[in-house]
Structure 1
């Protein structure tokens, strides 16, 4: 962390080199701290070695356009308040190559049609840089947080503030997201968590078997604060807590398993929320699928049991444009009986 902070401040440049560049009036805007923090260019040795940079790369701050932010950068804001803020943020300084940004901006706004293409290209080169500057320096978190390409960042932050109304709705969304992540089917039931495992092979498509069913009331979402020694402060985390399936309470003489817990970081939260709202499985799969599989294994290890009805098999089938839970039972003679 200290090495990364040092690189953020210096850009791996020595004083003599920066003084020479300044005396030659070279453009040093690329060495601003809000550029260095991402690890420099693709050829940077620090970028290739620093693990924290690889995590920051996922944020891709400044690489995508937001109308409200780009309009503020280019047009200077609406009303006296925003215009004053624009002048403060974009005052001529080394990180804007002194007056060069303002000159390119003015040329774009005032240029004629015959010069528009060149002036637009010049301004477009500034936009990612200026977005990153605003991300760190503009006191408008509701806007600049949207530069992080997470659709559910605001929801995540509101959960960390323990807003109860948000928790209740998101709990259902997370159960639905887990159902879709476990089964790889577009399930619509969020009243129960279905932990699926091996597949039945059919002529149509493989169908996951349901090994555990935990009702929504048995899944709790809450904020868990724990000490963070690195920052000498408490760091809140989101935690899902799973109660044993009710069927386990019916087993005579068997001890009731303990509650199981699972921590969610922002990436996993985003992955499950996107799935719950119709996203595809490939988005964030590399970062999150292993954690979701580990949760499935954790729940199966803790709660798996032989059902009281021997030979009962539960699985999902497509029916009327949705997946429906079906049950069949195999009796001692090997005959099948439909259970619904």
Structure 2
């Protein structure tokens, strides 16, 4: 992407220069300077896998309840309340060339012979301002994609660095012990699937993806046992020109431990996010609903950040059970049943804003329409 931005910047400079030569009587140096400032992309747009925040971690987390916007996913009646079936996590694609995004929701179906689902929804460009949701919209269901895993958990999105119309949704297959790489395009439909079995991770509850030193890091996490495995890949070797991944480019880096109890007797629950703050320090941020019963959208929402280090080129999470940052987001009636244990997750906007997605666990009936409420807070 960076060479495309450099090319774009060069074209702008060249056009302004030509205008100056051919029409210099009508242009001033001030006009040229302003033009260059307007068209020079911000630093965050050069990140292929956004990870950088515009604030120190404490300020970024503290800002998460400054503004919250509710929106809806057009789910269906089979996503309504059942004891063991519920929405697991939410993940947005990158911005497609037409300005839209795709929202993915993982949904568990635990009855005998049921299959888990990956739901995709079209999020039009008009609902975003500066890459933040600022309109209450209902997102149209694009596809209900069935998978063998009954309990799909956390997800991560990998935008293709060679084709802006393509990306890969990585899904933690908790019961089957594998990662599912689901290829998708700007239509929001899943095209092909690749699988990867990590090294010695019993229950895969989450997957975190980020770029560091031009390497893609893929972290496979098990919140039930407080441990995981870190992988690295050269991005140019991982993504091939035929819209497939060369999974042999993924190299095991190390195993790690995480604090045993970070809330609800679990370790860093699903839907967490690895971030680098404006001080160039690394953290993993996670959230959960701090109600009477764990795993249910009730009570206040806890947000915690734990520091990460890369000493000796290894991925490690600080073992101190006391987090670097902790914040309580009081549950509000405007959340409409949305919480940290439903269709939830974090994302980083193109301007470096940390945003929190809270979601319902089940579809609810509005008139004659089944839908699931979500809230973006930032």
Compare relative contact order (CA 8 Å, sep 6+) and give the higher one, 1 or 2: 2
Measured against the shorter chain, the TM-score band is under 0.3
Larger Rg: 1
More strand by share: 2
More helix by share: 1
**TM-score under structure 1 length normalisation:** 0.24
